[in-house]
A and B are shown apart, each in its own frame.
Chain A
Amino acid sequence: MDNAQVFKGIELLKDLSVREFFMFFVYLSLIFILKIAIEWILKFILKRTSTVSG
Chain B
Amino acid sequence: MDLKVYPEADEYSERVIPVAETILNWLAFYSSILLFLFYFWKERWLTYPFYETEGVQVTVFLIVVVIMIVTFASRIVKTFNRHIMPYIYEQFDIDVGLSFTINRLIYYIVMFLALALSFTTVGLDLTALGVVFSVLGIGIGFGVRNIAANFVSGIIILFERPMEVGEMVEIDKKIGRITRIKLRSTVVETLKDGTLIVPNQYFIEQIVKNRSSAELFARVEVSVAYGSDTAKVEELLDEAAEREMSAMKGVPIDQKPDVQFIGFRNSALDFQVEVHVVNVEMKERLESRIRHAIARSFFEHGIELAKAAPPAAE
Chain A contacts to B: CB under 8 angstroms: 1-2, 5-6, 8-9, 12-13, 15-16, 24, 27-28, 31-32, 34-35, 38-39, 42-43, 46-47, 49-54
Asked whether A51 and B3 contact (CB < 8 A) given A24-B36, A38-B24, A43-B17, the answer is yes
- Report the count of interface residues on B (CB-CB < 8 A): 32
Asked whether A51 and B51 contact (CB < 8 A) given A12-B45, A27-B35, the answer is no
CB pair B17–A46 under 8 Å, yes or no, is yes
Shortest distance from the beta carbon of B8 to any chain A beta carbon, whole Å: 9
Tell me the interface secondary structure of chain A in the complex. Answer: helix
Instruction: Indicate whether B43 reaches chain A with its CB closer than 8 angstroms.
Output: yes
Chain B contacts to A: CB under 8 angstroms: 1-6, 9-10, 12-13, 16-17, 20-21, 24-25, 27-28, 31-32, 35-36, 39-40, 43-45, 48-51, 53
Contacts of B16 in A (CB 8 A): 46
Q: Which 7 A-B pairs have the closest CB atoms?
A: A46-B13, A50-B9, A12-B45, A35-B28, A50-B10, A1-B51, A54-B4
CB pair A42–B20 under 8 Å, yes or no, is yes
Shortest distance from the beta carbon of B206 to any chain A beta carbon, whole Å: 51
CB pair B48–A9 under 8 Å, yes or no, is yes
Q: How far is the CA of A53 from the CA of B32 in the complex (A)?
A: 40
